[in-house]
Amino acid sequence: MFNRFALRTAAGITLLATAACGTIINGSKQNVSFASTPTGATVFVDNQQMGVTPVSLSLSRKDHHNVRMELAGFQPYEIKLTRGLSGWAFGNIIFGGIPGLAIDAITGGLYKLSPDAVEATLVSGTAMRTGDGLVVRVVLSADPSWEKIGQLEPVAGF
């Protein structure tokens, strides 16, 4: 009887000790580095000023984050950090089961942020707005992330 109780107790302690692999290995926060060209851009994460590039920030793994970099004379750079399932979640399936998955989901250890490094090339220039809110910009080379809505045609005779 005592041996059966000791065996169950040892199994329970082992189960609890190996539960929440993601939280134990990864923690609930992740370091994400931010750099910009030129340097010195202010980094905002979820509309909170967090630092100036280059900088490494410790961010919660359990949330998506909206990032904006601003520098006077340059267009703001925006990106969304998304959370994805960490490989350590599979450790919970093998060792920790449902309690381990639940703990990791609550603390954020179940997730990883992507990308884990942001390198922004800031585009200089200013934009002018017309009365209807349309932005007109003329550049020699367009940023591939811009949406093209029209193109100027050459005038005959020039």
Cα–Cα separations (whole angstroms), residue 42 to 37, 77, 84, 100, 118 = 12, 10, 26, 38, 13
| pTM of the complete model beyond 0.75 | no
pLDDT tens-place string over residues 109-157? 677 889 999 999 998 865 555 566 666 666 667 777 777 777 777 777 7
User: How far apart are the C-alpha atoms of 77 and 119, rounded to whole Å?
Assistant: 10
Give how far the C-alpha of residue 89 lies from the chain's centroid of Cα atoms, to the nearest Å.
19
| Domains of the chain (ranges, CATH numbers) | 2-125 (2.60.40)
pLDDT value for 92: 61
User: How far apart are the C-alpha atoms of 23 and 61, rounded to whole Å?
Assistant: 10
* Phi, psi angle pair for 72, to nearest 5°: -55, 135
